[in-house]
Amino acid sequence: MSKATITVYGIPNCDSVKKARVWLTDHGVDYVFHDFKKQGVPPDTLDLWLQQVSWDVLVNRKGTTWRKLDAAQQASVVDNASARAVMLEHLSVIKRPVVVKDHTVIVGVNPEAWARVVE
């Protein structure tokens, strides 16, 4: 039986991403880290995430990047298409980490969900 690859998407210096990476390492889980500041987020990957989780879960409205957007741009984010456009333009507005295994997408720090996908 082959094990599916777990990918952690995020930014290396993000505290939430660090928590995910430490948790996975401490639990002996092999994973691939995808630095979306350096590697970007392919539009088709973002589309897969949006099929699994709501855009309002993926958009981090508490972060610095969101707060730096002007009010009109913030107000324009109302559905998958508008959220997708903003996330592709401003990658740091994506809530981190995004942990993916097969078609399971977990957004944010969630050790209980991580435990379910590594079993």
11, 14, 41, 57: the catalytic one is 14
At 101, phi and psi to the nearest 5?
Answer: -140, 120
Residues 6+ apart with CB under 8 A from 107: 49, 53, 57, 58, 95, 97, 98, 99
Is there a catalytic annotation at residue 20?
no
Kind plus residue range of the DSSP H or E element containing 111:
helix 111-118
CA dist 85 and 117 (Å) reads: 29
Pull the structure tokens for residue 117.
């996908």
Catalytically annotated residues: 14
